[in-house]
């Protein structure tokens, strides 16, 4: 099986949580072809605040000025990525830290001039991921993309995961988050949803904010050939492994 696991920045903020996830995913990487995409928004906000830079958001996306681009490289591609890579290595995986800039993994263009250097991925070449997993390595990808003329873009981590999962032709895309799954109108967590179900939840404004973004990403992934998408709580032990094994955890979304 080939899989991509997206880790939210909240899960990576605590060393104990990071180490547990690293151990669990390292074990999976010994059984399957696995790549990891991670965020780090919480860490980025803290880094900027410590330097007196106020974070500004438009439609939930961070306005990315030149100062923020510098922080993006230091935090996403630097400390967060390498702390996670170190945890994987400590768990026995041959982890390699990457960004979307590397080998054209994710090429982006500006999403909206109001947002500055926030990008929308327009192409993805997963050749570097294929070479790495075939060699027994675990790619760990920060959500930073390159432009066609050498620009550097801040890319939403969910969208980075979709772009990489699609070009990497994965059987499963797993979003590990801090919620149990997708809640439907009656407040319960759905175990299975179709693309049509997801669109209905968005249209009915049952899924809003971060969950709306997750569902939109999931639908994009399925339309681009990903086999299935699972949204599950990363705080549950072996969540990723259970998701890949098809066991009931979180919400599974099918084409």
pLDDT tens digit sequence for 137-167: 999 999 999 999 999 999 999 999 999 999 9
Report domain extents, the chain: 1-168, 171-255
DSSP annotation of 53? P
Residue 9 has pLDDT above 80, yes or no: no
Q: Please list the alpha-helical segments (H only) found in 91-156.
A: 127-134
Candidate from 6-10, 125-129, 171-175, 235-239 with smallest mean pLDDT: 6-10
In this chain, the answer to whether the domains covering 1-168 and 171-255 adopt an identical fold is: yes
CATH (one of 2.40.128.130, 3.40.50.620, 2.40.50.1070, 3.40.1160.10) for 171-255: 3.40.1160.10
Question: What percent of the chain has pLDDT above 70?
Answer: 100
Identify any residues that bridge with 19 across adjacent strands, giving them in sequence order: none
Question: CB count, 10 Å around CB of 75?
Answer: 23
Dump pLDDT digits (tens) for 201-233: 999 999 988 888 899 999 999 999 999 999 999
Which pLDDT tens digit goes with each residue over 25-76?
999 999 999 999 999 988 999 999 999 998 999 888 899 999 999 999 999 9
**Pick from 153, 131, 129, 135: nearest CA to 66:** 153
CATH of 1-168 given 3.10.20.90, 3.30.2020.30, 3.40.1160.10, 3.40.50.850: 3.40.1160.10
Instruction: Provide CB contacts within 8 A for 38, sequence distance 6+.
Output: 6, 7, 8, 9, 12, 80, 81, 84, 140, 141, 142, 143, 157
């Amino acid at each position: 099986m080939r899989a991509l696991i997206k880790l939210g920045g909240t899960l990576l903020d605590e060393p104990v949580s990071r180490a547990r996830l690293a151990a669990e995913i390292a074990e999976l990487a010994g059984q399957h072809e696995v790549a990891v995409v991670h965020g780090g928004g919480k860490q980025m906000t803290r880094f900027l605040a410590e330097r007196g830079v106020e974070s500004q958001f438009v439609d939930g996306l961070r306005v990315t000025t030149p100062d923020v681009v510098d922080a993006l490289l230091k935090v996403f591609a630097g400390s967060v990525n390498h702390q996670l890579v170190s945890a994987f290595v400590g768990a026995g995986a041959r982890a390699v830290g990457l960004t979307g800039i590397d080998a054209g993994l994710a090429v982006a263009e500006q999403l909206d001039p109001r947002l500055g250097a926030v990008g929308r991925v327009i192409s993805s070449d997963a050749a570097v991921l294929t070479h790495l997993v075939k060699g027994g390595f675990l790619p760990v990808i920060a959500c930073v993309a390159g432009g066609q003329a050498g620009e550097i873009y801040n890319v939403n981590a969910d969208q980075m995961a979709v772009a990489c999962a699609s070009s990497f032709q994965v059987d499963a895309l797993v979003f590990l988050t801090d919620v149990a799954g997708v809640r439907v109108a009656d407040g319960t967590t759905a175990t299975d949803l179709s693309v049509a179900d997801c669109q209905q939840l968005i249209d009915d404004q049952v899924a809003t904010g971060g969950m709306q973004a997750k569902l939109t990403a999931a639908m994009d992934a399925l339309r681009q050939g990903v086999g299935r998408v699972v949204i599950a709580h990363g705080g549950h032990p072996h969540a990723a492994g259970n998701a890949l094994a098809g066991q009931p955890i979180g919400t599974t979304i099918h084409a």
